[in-house]
Amino acid sequence: MRRRDTITAVGFLGLLAAGLLLLATAFFGGEGQLEHLLKSAWAERDLQAVLEGAEAAANRDLDRDHLFIQLYGGVQRLTARRVVEDVVSENSVVRLSTGALHFIDMQDRPALAEAEANAADTAAFAQDLEALGIPYRFLLAPGKIQRETELLPTGVAEYSNENADAFLRTLEEQGTAYTDLRPLFEETGSYPDWFFRTDHHWRPEAAFFAWQYLAVLLEETYGFATDPALTRADSWERTVLEDFFLGSQGKRVGTLYGGTDDFTLYTPKFATNLTYTCPFYAIDRTGPFQESVCFPEQTTRRDWFGANPYTYYAGGDYPQASIVNHNYPEGPRVLLLRDSFACALTPFLSLSCAELITIDLRHFRGNLSETIAALEPDLVLTLYSSTVNSALFQYDATE
């Protein structure tokens, strides 16, 4: 009996592996074949129909380097598993009820006290800037999970919004200026659509929308005007690269589990002239928006696992960088303390400034207070997302 059961099990696993191989091959052929199969055959749990559809594309190219990830993710999808655990706890991936992916730390706990302490440090930092005559404002970008929604599987929890709420409450108690961008996106009624399905970041469309809002805020609050023609949607050409992007969450579980994302390139229809420099990485680029603050080399070809098209905007996370807008010399000098959400926002925001200086505190090494004092900005902003750990909401103004 045991021998027969073993042979049966091995045979089943062999057939399953062969079927998944064909399934992976079908998907790598692109053209949305897998998505069609998932919506039809998988919706009915009809594995045979999936395999028959996959077999028709069996001769297409196969990404052998990531075959294990693809097959493993395919198995998780076929078994309707919504949590794919990683050896690194915070890199585990959960499938939300919307179908989008999200990083989850299965050992996560509320960090309200930490968030409140970090907010108190931020308030002290703002007071130091005030003594220098420099205004400060904290900007909270929305995270992927909307407040007061039930998107996680039963028994799974995450606390990014709760931690962010505690952080903002403390800022308010300390009298520190802040803007919570979450309501702006919630009011659109299409909150999930502002985010990539396979990545934790907001889409370029969301960054553009946030810039439209912030341009008005900067003028009404600080007197820094942006030409309204620049922020109009019809002043920009949008090019959509379909099925082009596999985000950091999707790379963990493969395209069979979570699919892929489209990626949008924004190109202004008006004249621009900017210089983008980052001495740390020897970056010195001058030219129009799409060649200076954007990096077209990041989108020359589709490479789901080896490329990161998200860095088309602003290039990546740099310790310190500067964008000079030669078409707006009378504008403000703004310093932006940022996390990775600012990649998509930075190029747009630079059009509202004479100079936009960005500092990523995760990589910056130096005396922050002295650096800011030497730069003499007209305004200091911080942009962090509620998705990030509350530990990032902190400053050491004495360094």
* Predicted confidence (pLDDT) per residue in 116-173, tens digit: 999 999 999 999 999 999 999 999 999 999 999 999 999 999 899 999 999 999 999 9
Q: Give the tokens for residue 286.
A: 């001058």
What separation in angstroms does the CA of 396 have from each of 83, 366, 369? 36, 11, 9
313 and 268 assigned to the same domain: yes
Residue after which a domain boundary falls, among 48, 72, 104: 104
Task: Please state, as a whole number, how many other Cβ atoms lie within 10 Å of the Cβ of residue 68.
Answer: 10
285 and 177 housed in the same domain: yes
132, 29: one domain: no
Enclosing domain of residue 75: 2-104
Which pLDDT tens digit goes with each residue over 285-302? 999 999 999 999 999 999
8-29 pLDDT, tens digit each: 334 444 545 555 554 544 444 4
Angle between helices 112-131 and 160-174 (to 10 degrees): 40
Of 64, 79, 104, the residue at which a domain comes to its end is 104
Kindly indicate the confidence band of residue 107, based on its pLDDT and cuts at 50, 70 and 90: confident
Q: Which of 49-63, 70-84, 191-205, 244-258 has the lowest mean pLDDT?
A: 49-63
The β-bridge relationship of strands 236-245 and 333-338 is: unpaired
Residue 79 resides in a domain: yes
- How much is the pLDDT for 19? 52
Q: What is the value of pTM for the model shown?
A: 0.84
Strand order across the beta sheet in which 101-104 lies: 83-84, 92-95, 101-104
Has residue 198 been placed in a domain? yes
Is 188 within a domain? yes
Percent of the chain exceeding pLDDT 70 equals 81
- Rounded Cα distance between 21 and 212, Å, is 46
